[in-house]
């Protein structure tokens, strides 16, 4: 920030050519400029000195670590573009007492701001615009300077850390159809894959902000993958149930055929015994012409 103090001026020629001096920041008055969107107190150490020029201009430079509020649209996560604002204004002074204006080089210094960003590992700065406008609240008008910042998320991290593992788990689940249904290895493998996708959904819940108004596409994608893997698990359980039921039916048919074979052998043996007993009752001196067959026995006429 820079402002002019009319009570501090000197001629550099009268003081050995000194045109600027640094003094402790507690000595002079400073404007109470704050950020409207801030939600957490700044933890950075403020600069202990001010720089005063010979014409009365005062410069102060502070590095601040800010936690601000910004409504994010994560419908296309991790390919989303966010637009956030930083509104600078005074706490107690009106627009007549403090007039805020922007630096002429604020809009043209985009490349410098892009290099100065310290969170470049996750976000890529696309554009930044600065404009000043008054704000009125309860008949109290204040000047404010608004920074509109557009950032693009680096999608490579989201693809490698989340999307790629989900697709690999789904591919392994499809490959599990080649496993035989005779044992329980296939069922346990599918349950393991389903639990892995569940863990990835918990990780996604921690990554995504809760301020989005629409359901992100990546959530719909994960729900679809989870549903397909659930149907695959249910299909495996049904196939194993039908296979076991068919095996039990074949075993019962085999036992039934063996039982029927024993019954047939028993009837044949019983009939032979009847024929033998009937033939043994006949007289030995009878001729074959005087014999009649009745049922299973040969009787004397």
Alpha carbon distance 124, 127 (integer Å): 9
Give the confidence band of 126 by pLDDT, cuts at 50, 70, 90: confident
Domain boundaries, the chain: 1-67, 70-153, 157-248
Nearest to 52 by CA among 23, 81, 95, 86: 23
pLDDT in tens, 65-75: 788 888 888 88
* Other Cβ atoms within 10 Å of 86 Cβ, number: 18
**Mean pLDDT for the chain?**
77
Question: Average pLDDT, stretch 97-122?
Answer: 65
Which residues does 95 contact at the CB level (< 8 Å), separation at least 6?
134, 141, 142, 143
Helix axes 164-175, 217-280, angle to 10 degrees: 10
Beta bridge partners of 42: none
CATH homologous superfamily for the domain 70-153: Neurotransmitter-gated ion-channel ligand-binding domain (2.70.170.10)
Which residues does 113 contact at the CB level (< 8 Å), separation at least 6?
125, 128
Give CA separation, 130 vs 17, 36, 96, 146, in Å: 36, 15, 21, 6
Q: What is the CA radius of gyration of the chain?
A: 46
- Residue 246 is predicted with a pLDDT of 74
* Encoded tokens for 67: 């936690």
Nearest to 287 by CA among 277, 278, 295, 298: 298
pTM: 0.63
Nearest to 51 by CA among 82, 20, 79, 74: 20
Beta bridge partners of 23: 50
Beta bridge partners of 232: none
pLDDT > 60? residue 96 = yes
- Residue 53 is predicted with a pLDDT of 92
Q: What percent of the chain has pLDDT over 90?
A: 5
Nearest to 50 by CA among 72, 73, 21: 21
Give the confidence band of 104 by pLDDT, cuts at 50, 70, 90: low
pLDDT in tens, 239-254: 888 887 777 677 666 6
Question: Average pLDDT, stretch 258-267?
Answer: 54
Q: Which has more confidence, 16 or 210?
A: 16
pLDDT in tens, 141-173: 888 999 898 888 888 878 888 888 899 998 988
Q: Are 87 and 146 in contact (CB under 8 A)?
A: yes
Question: Average pLDDT, stretch 104-118?
Answer: 57
- Residue 58 is predicted with a pLDDT of 92
Question: Average pLDDT, stretch 170-189?
Answer: 80
Give the confidence band of 258 by pLDDT, cuts at 50, 70, 90: low
Question: Average pLDDT, stretch 278-290?
Answer: 47
Give CA separation, 146 vs 87, 89, 100, 141, in Å: 4, 9, 11, 15
């Amino acid at each position: 920030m820079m402002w002019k103090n009319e009570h501090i001026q000197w001629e550099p020629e009268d003081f050995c050519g000194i045109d600027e001096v640094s003094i402790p920041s507690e000595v002079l008055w400073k404007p109470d400029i704050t950020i409207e969107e801030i939600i957490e107190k700044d933890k950075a150490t403020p600069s202990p000195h001010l720089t005063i020029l010979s014409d009365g201009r005062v410069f102060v430079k502070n590095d601040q670590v800010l936690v601000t509020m910004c409504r994010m649209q994560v419908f296309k996560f991790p390919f989303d573009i966010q637009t956030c604002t930083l509104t600078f204004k005074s706490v107690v002074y009106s627009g007549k007492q403090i007039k805020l204006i922007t630096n002429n080089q604020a809009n043209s210094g985009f490349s410098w701001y892009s290099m100065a960003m310290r969170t470049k590992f996750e976000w890529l700065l696309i554009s930044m615009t600065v404009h000043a406008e008054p704000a009125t609240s309860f008949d109290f008008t204040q000047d404010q300077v608004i920074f509109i910042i557009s950032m693009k998320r680096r999608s490579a991290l989201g693809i490698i850390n989340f999307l790629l593992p989900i697709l690999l788990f789904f591919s392994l689940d499809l490959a599990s159809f080649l496993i035989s249904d005779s044992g329980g290895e296939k069922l346990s493998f599918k349950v393991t894959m389903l639990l892995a996708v569940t863990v990835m959904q918990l990780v996604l819940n921690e990554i995504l902000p809760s301020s989005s108004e629409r359901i992100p596409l990546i959530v719909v994608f994960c729900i679809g993958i989870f549903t397909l893997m659930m149907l695959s698990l249910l299909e495996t359980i049904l196939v194993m149930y039908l296979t076991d039921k068919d095996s039990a039916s074949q075993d019962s048919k085999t036992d039934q055929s063996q039982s029927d074979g024993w019954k047939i052998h028993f009837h044949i043996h019983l009939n032979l015994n009847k024929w033998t007993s009937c033939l043994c009752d006949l007289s030995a001196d009878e001729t074959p012409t005087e014999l009649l067959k009745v049922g299973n026995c040969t009787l004397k006429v």
